[in-house]
């Protein structure tokens, strides 16, 4: 067996939430298959807890790079955008010829929302001359909310199984099969979309309130306010 080395970049600013849960599952599965994997938290480099220059020695021996990230405001979180731009500028030679894939997750069940994010990842791979192995989108990440997959019963087992199928393609240097995405997608009747959206919005507002954000802050239109102030 051709043993591969993978580095998995956690794109969430919150180190222990759903993106990390997914990254940890993929790390465990890769190691069970006889490969080596490690997880890097992008936020540690963005916040300068760790020097960016140290990444060169980490990335150099890797065969495969994977990004596991949430969707923020319809695209990649800003720390991830910053990180990919830094990689492209500072480590171009180290990235050429390596393989790259992405796993994206969002709060809502509709994975169509994740396509622009995954397309950005594909474009990044093309720009730095990496081999793009494809991406996976998971809708409903907010409901997992950092809970380890082994504690999620049938849902967790299903996600583990789908990630295992994806890794079979990834370590062989193949594009992730479309059937893997089909298995990962949540089938929710359209009639339940509005109630689910209302529930998820309620949870986010409650979380914001716990962090001292008022309803007025959430509904402000800062750009319009600044235009009025200048007129």
Question: Over pLDDT 70: what percentage of the chain?
Answer: 82
CB-based contacts of 77, cutoff 8 Å, min separation 6: 11, 12, 13, 69, 70
For residues 210-225, average pLDDT = 67
Please name every residue paired with 76 in a beta bridge, in sequence order, or none if there are none.
none
User: What ranges do the domains of the chain cover?
Assistant: 5-188, 189-231
Please name every residue paired with 10 in a beta bridge, in sequence order, or none if there are none.
41, 68
| pLDDT band at residue 230 under the 50/70/90 scheme | low
Helix extents (H) in the chain: 18-32, 42-46, 55-59, 78-90, 92-95, 115-127, 141-144, 154-171, 178-184, 193-210, 215-219, 222-230
Q: Is the CA virtual torsion 58, 8, 40, 34 positive or negative?
A: negative
pLDDT at residue 210 is higher than 80: no
Please name every residue paired with 139 in a beta bridge, in sequence order, or none if there are none.
106
The DSSP result for 76-101, as a single string, is --HHHHHHHHHHHHHSHHHHTT-EEE
For residues 208-214, average pLDDT = 71
Q: What is the mean pLDDT of the chain?
A: 87
Q: 21 with 147: CB under 8 angstroms?
A: yes
pTM of the complete model: 0.83
Tokens 């790259």 — which residue?
Answer: 100
pLDDT at residue 194 is higher than 60: yes
Nearest to 172 by CA among 131, 117, 129, 126: 131
Q: 22 with 137: CB under 8 angstroms?
A: no
At 5-37, the pLDDT tens digits run: 999 999 999 999 999 999 999 999 999 999 999
pLDDT at residue 107 is higher than 70: yes
**What pLDDT was estimated at residue 110?**
79
Distance CA 159, CA 22 (A): 9
Q: Is the CA virtual torsion 7, 12, 13, 15 positive or negative?
A: negative
At 158-184, the pLDDT tens digits run: 999 999 999 999 999 999 999 999 888
Burial class (CB in 10 A: 0-12, 13-18, 19+), 135: buried
pLDDT at residue 231 is higher than 70: no
Q: In this structure, how many other beta carbons lie within 10 angstroms of the beta carbon of residue 198?
A: 10
Q: In this structure, how many other beta carbons lie within 10 angstroms of the beta carbon of residue 123?
A: 12
**What pLDDT was estimated at residue 132?**
98
| pLDDT band at residue 124 under the 50/70/90 scheme | very high
Q: Which of 49-53, 167-171, 199-203 has the lowest mean pLDDT?
A: 199-203
Distance CA 138, CA 104 (A): 6
Q: Which of 2-16, 95-109, 112-126, 184-198 has the lowest mean pLDDT?
A: 184-198
Structure tokens at 22: 């997914």
In CATH, what is the architecture of 5-188? Answer: 3-Layer(aba) Sandwich (3.40)
């Amino acid at each position: 067996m051709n043993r591969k080395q993978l580095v998995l970049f956690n794109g969430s600013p919150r180190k222990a939430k759903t993106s990390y849960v997914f990254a940890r599952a993929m790390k465990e599965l890769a190691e069970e298959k006889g490969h080596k994997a490690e997880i890097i938290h992008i936020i540690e480099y963005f916040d300068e807890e760790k020097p960016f220059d140290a990444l060169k020695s980490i990335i150099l021996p890797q065969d495969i790079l994977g990004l596991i990230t949430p969707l923020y405001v319809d695209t990649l979180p800003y720390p991830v955008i910053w990180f990919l731009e830094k990689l492209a500028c500072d480590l171009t030679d180290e990235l050429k010829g390596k393989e790259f894939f992405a796993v994206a997750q969002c709060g809502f069940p509709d994975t169509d929302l994740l396509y622009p994010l995954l397309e950005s990842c594909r474009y990044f791979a093309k720009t730095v001359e990496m081999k793009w192995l494809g991406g996976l989108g998971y809708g409903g990440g907010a409901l997992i909310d950092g809970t380890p997959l082994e504690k999620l019963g049938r849902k967790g087992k299903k996600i583990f199984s789908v990630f295992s199928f994806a890794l079979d393609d990834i370590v062989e240097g193949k594009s992730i099969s479309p059937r893997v995405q089909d298995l990962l997608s949540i089938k929710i009747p359209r009639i339940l979309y509005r109630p689910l959206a209302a529930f998820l919005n309620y949870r986010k507002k409650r979380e914001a309130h716990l962090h001292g954000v008022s309803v007025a802050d959430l509904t402000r239109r800062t750009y319009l306010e600044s235009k009025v102030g200048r007129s």
